[in-house]
Amino acid sequence: ETDGALCTLTVNRPKVLNALNARVLEELSAAFEDIRGRSDVRAVVITGAGDRAFVAGADIAAMAELPVAEARKLAEKGHKVGDLIAQLPQPVLAAVNGFALGGGLELALACDVIFASKTAKLGQPEVNIGVMPGFGGTQRLIRRVGPGHAARLIYGGDPISAEEGHRLGLVDVLCEPATLLEETRALGKKIASRAPVAVGHAKQALRATFELPLAEGNRLEQQLFAELFAPHDQKEGMAAFLAKRPASFLGK
């Protein structure tokens, strides 16, 4: 659903706690591919239907008898969703409203900011069923909480509370259950009101820190900063600031 320039995606399988199967992953990929080409969408919120789960994990019933080749294809679908989120110019905010386990936590980890209800539970419990994270968890979790905590969560397989996740840096914003979506959308609307080209460039620079040495990252920042002086929005933003009036950003 859209509210102005804010788009909210809801994983809607509440009877199975919004578990991810191949079809849901394909639908998420299609949604993010559509959003990538839409100039009218400037921020995205993703959440799960109901109040019990964001996404409780991958659909175990659908995975139980998968041969190796099909398991690889499923992992590729999960990684595609995470890569699309990372590559979007629009920031993506996760509103974790319950269980975010396995593939659910991996979906949240791909997002730019993670909001969580104080009653949420988060974890990578895959070792309890004989597998390991396969949708990016081993790579993204360590970047959020460090090697020791990531190893504890992945090797031990036990979920943690949202409060502990917040202490570790896994959760960015803790919310009361009743206000979770409202607070997440409030940041989304604020982002949507900012200069979209500048926000997109800033996201690109932030994401590059995971891959580039500091010197290369600084060079990228300089390049992206300079590029913003050609678009309309830089001229409008600075003129509005100097004139003490609200800016009208066009996304160009």
Active site residue ranges = 106, 126
- Helix axes of 196-208 and 214-227: crossing angle, nearest 10 degrees: 170
Angle, to 10 degrees, between the axis of helix 196-208 and the axis of helix 232-243?
Answer: 110
The answer to whether the CB of 32 falls within 8 A of the CB of 111 is no
Q: What is the DSSP letter of 66?
A: -
> Residue 106 is which amino acid?
E
Q: Phi and psi of 121, rounded to 5°?
A: -125, 135
Which tokens hold the place of 156? 């031990």
